[in-house]
Chain A
Amino acid sequence: GNSVTQMEGPVTLSEEAFLTINCTYTATGYPSLFWYVQYPGEGLQLLLKATKADDKGSNKGFEATYRKETTSFHLEKGSVQVSDSAVYFCAWNTGGFKTIFGAGTRLFVKA
Chain B
Amino acid sequence: DTGVSQNPRHKITKRGQNVTFRCDPISEHNRLYWYRQTLGQGPEFLTYFQNEAQLEKSRLLSDRFSAERPKGSFSTLEIQRTEQGDSAMYLCASSSEGQFNEQFFGPGTRLTVL
Task: List the interface of chain A (C-beta within 8 A of B).
Answer: 4, 32, 34, 36, 42-46, 49, 51, 89, 91, 93, 95-104
Contacts and interface: CB of A to CB of B under 8 A. Distances in A.
A97 to B, nearest CB: 4
Contacts of B65: none
B45 to A, nearest CB: 5
Interface of B: 4, 31, 33, 40-45, 48, 50, 55-56, 91, 93, 99-108
A83 to B, nearest CB: 19
Binding site secondary structure of chain A: strand
B48 A46 contact: no
A56 B1 CA distance: 30
Contacts of B107: 42-43
B87 to A, nearest CB: 18
A95 B42 contact: no
Most central of B33, B43, B99, B107 by chain A CB within 10 Å: B43
26 contacts: A32-B101, A43-B4, A43-B105, A44-B43, A44-B91, A44-B105, A46-B103, A49-B100, A51-B100, A89-B43, A91-B42, A93-B100, A95-B99, A95-B101, A96-B101, A98-B45, A98-B56, A99-B33, A99-B43, A100-B45, A101-B42, A101-B43, A103-B41, A104-B40, A104-B41, A104-B42
